[in-house]
Structure 1
Amino acid sequence: MRTVGVEEEFMLVAPDGTPRAVAAAVLQHAGSLEPEVGPGVEPPGGQLEKEFKREQVETSTHPCKDLSALADEIRAGRQRADTSARHAGARVAAIATMPGPVDSTLIRNHRARLIEEEFGQVARDQLTCGCHVHVEVADDDEGIVVLDHLRVWTPVLLALTTNSPFWQGEDTGYASYRSQVWGRWPTAGATPPFGDAATYHRVIDDLLRSGTILDGGMIYFNARLSPRYPTVEVRVADVCLEAEDAVLQAALVRGLAETAVDEAARGVVPVDPRAELLRVATWRAARSGVRGELLSPRTGRPAPAADVVRQLLDHVTPALTRLGDLDRVRARLEVVLARGTGADQQRAWRAEGADADGMVREAVDRTLA
């Protein structure tokens, strides 16, 4: 069974719900609690890490085979981050954009300063939190098989995690405004199929030689080969308000990877819509989440979001059955479709009278539930 791991980015907020630029203090406290790291490259997981802005931190799990173990790691990571945040007078909130006005601050880092100098307002606006899923692959060739087969389903993965309806105090009309902000980076978004690992690496080399991006860490595709680990990294999702929704995202990504490898072994050619259509599908997912219509990967036409989500479930059902994940995934999908995503919850809090800071305080409680 291939392993799967999750990286989550969180906002650092004061007890009253306002943003706090205390990442350095949070990481210092967390570092004092971490065991010594041995020689060699560590797998994803186990430590708090810095992000681009001082108002956020990132956690990551170890690679897991069992979804219950993954859920435990995700919850433990959230608790660990909040414990260290408390020592800096803050809390962590799993929201992908701040609901209220915020003037974010860059971390004290040479690379971050270079990015801000090169990308200007795009970098200054970049205070968003995502959820990245790493799924194990045997090698780069298998990784390309996974990338080329799952690319058509990434908009549905985004729709299921939408958690950023507000920006600078205003309702944007989007379920995931994070994805709109993130899409300003030159390498962000959907890609065409690569076909083989040599083509993928040639594209990366060409992007680096363009002089537009600083390094390979700025390859911001919706899904990519991880530059550090033997994994495919799916980066399209907002950070999930609830831990179990992050588990769902990981289970679906692993199911898609298993299905991709199975299909390739049987000679099934992946569905191959143009990248332009995938960008439209991603925009549609960001706009309405699971409340409205999505573009069906099977037809390229709009359909009710619940129908498209169930198409995804049908697609991965054989793999989920073999992995023992089907019942858990099916049950959680029905919860998300009935309850809505984090974006729906944030709007419900606003409708009930919460202001921006009150929504953040609610989010802190839900993050750690």
Structure 2
Amino acid sequence: MTIGVEEEFLVVDPVTRRTAPFADSVLKQVGRLPRGARVHPEMLTSQVEFATGVCDSLGDLREQLVAGRRELAAAAGREGLGLVSSGTAVLAGLDVPMTSGARFERIAGMYAGVLEDYEVSGCHVHVGIEDRDTAVAVINHLSYWLPTLLAVSANSPFDNGRDTGYASWRMVQQSRLPGGGLTPWFGSAAEHDHAVDQLVDLGVLVDHAMTFWLARPSPRYPTVEVRVADAAATVDEAVQQAALTEALVKYALDQLDAGHEAKPIPDQWAAAAVWSAARYGMDGPGIDLRTGQCVPAKVLLAELTALTGTDVHVRPRMTGDPVTVVDALLEEL
């Protein structure tokens, strides 16, 4: 089974600690990358993305993530800048425009003011599955556990210097866009694709590559793409999210091989579970989407780790002075 990760980072001025609109300058300084890896601009000029190549093991993945972060940090340093990995900007820039380009301009035109402060960054995990019908069936199973993956990864309590009280303010910001949250239950890839077609035809998505669901069959690669996690502050946390995701995909495949299809999740349960994970992270209640019952998030995590055989380290929630938080994130990258 193959695996890959896409990581989004925020460019910051190390003096003011605010995000800075110089992603293009950083990307021009990037030199040698790991085999198959790529770097890209993102929606705002304060963001860059690093995508690993296709990896055959978590060890290979770790090596690529370490090398990619090292090269991007060095590239930023050559421009007198820094990079941080957090789900939202701890201290936002005063003037961070959209990245130029026809598609980004269409996106900005469609979503208008919602995107003016949309400096959100995620850790996206791709797990190789060739057959799209199988990918859709796997996602149906993953949906039970995506809120727990969000809670474990929550790394965005700040919104421009303000502690929001949420573990993942990124997910709150993302919820303002149409068609977000848990992926609806679909019986086939054709059903999934038809639903995406409808959203495009209704004028709420720019194109077929732009759904906001937290997991999807990738529109470009033969993978299941899980986009629920906040940007991981460290390589260890990014690898942990990849390991959990890969193990859940394997579990889902085992369930399908045994003839067990996932059941649809009521919309209100799904929305409540994502909200609860964003609000509390691992420090409060969660919602068991198999039963609709409110249970401690730590209980759900214990079940997830038992299910997947994966050890999990829970990161303490970021608190304190925003400048100190940015400095810590700069060091952790």
Same fold per superposition (TM over 0.5): yes
| Cross-structure match for 1:286 | 278
Q: Which residue of 154, 165, 186 corresponds with 2:178? A: 186
Offset of residue 33 of structure 1:
4.4
Residue in structure 2 matching 1:250, options 239, 242, 250: 242
Q: Does structure 1 retain, via aligned residues, the 8 Å contact 2:33–2:67?
A: no
Counterpart-to-counterpart distance in 1, 2:150 and 2:267: 16
Counterparts of 1:201 and 1:271, CA distance in 2: 19
In structure 2, C-alpha distance between the alignment counterparts of 1:212 and 1:67, rounded to whole Å: 37
Residue in structure 1 matching 2:81, options 77, 90, 98: 90
CA contact (8 A) 1:292 1:305 kept: yes
Stretch deviating more after TM superposition (148-157 or 94-103): 94-103
In 2, distance between residues paired with 1:9 and 1:34? 16
What is residue 170 of structure 1 aligned with on the other side? 162
- What are the equivalent positions in structure 2 for 1:4-43 lying under 5 Å apart? 4-16=3-15, 17-30=17-30, 33=32
Deviations 1:39-78 (A, max 9, x none): xxxx9x5121110011110011112222122111111111
1:192 Cα deviation (Å)? 2.0
> What amino acid sits opposite 2:66 in the alignment?
R
Structure 2 Cα separation of the partners of residues 186 and 217 of structure 1:
14
Residues 152 and 297 in structure 1, CA contact (< 8 A), matched pair in contact too: yes
Match of 2:260 in 1: 268
Deviations 1:262-287 (CA, angstroms, capped at 9, x unpaired) = 11111113143213211110100000
Identity within the alignment, %: 35
Partner of 1:323: none
Matched, 1:59 2:50: yes
Cα distance in 2 between the residues matched to 1:114 and 1:312: 40
Using the TM superposition, give the Cα deviation of residue 116 of structure 1 relative to its aligned residue in structure 2, in angstroms.
1.4
Equivalent residue runs for 1:1-369 within 5 Å:
2-16=1-15, 17-30=17-30, 33=32, 45-103=36-94, 104-317=96-309, 329-330=310-311, 333=312, 335-336=313-314, 340-341=315-316, 344=317, 346-347=318-319, 350=320, 355-367=321-333
SS at match of 1:76: helix
- Which consecutive segments of 4 or more residues in structure 1 shift more than 4 A? 32-35
1:186 alignment partner AA? P
Q: Structure 1: how far apart are the matches of 2:241 and 2:107?
A: 30
TM-score (norm 2): 0.95
Aligned residues of 1:25 and 1:88 also touching (Cα < 8 A): yes
Q: How many residues are matched? A: 331
The question of whether the paired residues in 2 share the 8 Å contact of 1:130 and 1:236 is answered with yes
Mapped contact 2:32–2:71 kept (Cα < 8 A)? no
Distance 2:160 2:18 in 1: 12
Pick closer, same or farther for the CA change 1:252–1:174 going to 2, 3 Å.
same
Q: Deviations over 1:249-300 (max 9, x none)?
A: 1111111111111111111131432132111101000001111121123432
- Structure 1 residues 15 and 101 mapped into 2: Cα distance closer, same or farther (>3 Å)? closer
| Residues 143-183 of structure 1: CA deviation (Å, up to 9, x unaligned) | 11111111111000000110000112211110000000011
CA contact (8 A) 2:144 2:288 kept: no
The answer for unaligned runs of 5 or more in structure 1 is 36-42, 318-328
Q: CA deviation at 1:101?
A: 4.1
Change (3 A) 1:64 1:309: same
Distance 1:77 1:156 in 2: 27
Residues 152 and 271 of structure 1 are in contact (CA less than 8 Å); yes or no, is this contact kept in structure 2? no
CA contact (8 A) 1:191 1:275 kept: no
- Deviation per CA, 1:94-139: give whole Å up to 9, x if none: 1111122434321122221222122111121211111100010021
**Contact 1:192–1:274 (Cα < 8 Å) also in 2:** no
The answer (yes or no) to whether the contact 1:294–1:302 under 8 Å persists in 2 is yes
Counterpart of 2:42, as a letter, is E
Query: Could you tell me which amino acid in structure 2 is paired with residue 365 of structure 1?
Result: E
Q: Which residue of 2 aligns with 1:325?
A: none
**SS of match in other structure, 2:212:** coil
Q: CA deviation at 1:191?
A: 2.6
C-alpha separation between the residues in 1 aligned to 2:184 and 2:19? 38
DSSP 3-state at the match of 1:307: helix
Distance between the aligned counterparts of 1:139 and 1:101, measured in 2?
A: 41
Secondary structure in 2 matching 1:218: coil
Aligned to 1:38: none
Distance in 2 between the 1:154 and 1:165 partners? 19
